[in-house]
Amino acid sequence: MMKMIISALALMMNMAPASAQQMIDPGAQDVGASVTLVTKYRRSTTTYLGQDGDLFRYERVSKGAGPDFVDIFWRDGAGQATRMTYENVEQLYEPHDCRLTVGRCVYTRTYINEKLNEKTQKQYIRVTSFENGVWVSKQYLNNEAPENLKTESTFSVDEFGHVIESESLIHHKDYSKPKRGWAKRLK
Domain boundaries, the chain: 29-185
Strands (E), the chain: 34-38, 42-52, 55-64, 69-75, 81-86, 89-94, 103-113, 118-131, 134-141, 149-157, 163-170, 179-185
The rounded distance, in Å, linking the Cα atoms of 139 and 182 is: 16
Q: What pLDDT does 5 receive?
A: 32
**Which one is the CATH code of 29-185: 1.10.287, 2.40.360, 3.40.50, 2.20.28?**
2.40.360
* pTM assigned to the model: 0.83
Tell me the per-residue pLDDT of 87-98, one tens digit each, with 9 for 90 and over: 989 999 999 999
Tell me the per-residue pLDDT of 32-74, one tens digit each, with 9 for 90 and over: 999 999 998 999 999 999 999 999 999 999 999 889 999 999 9
DSSP 112: E
Which parts of the chain register pLDDT below 50?
A: 1-20
Q: Helical H runs in the chain?
A: 2-14
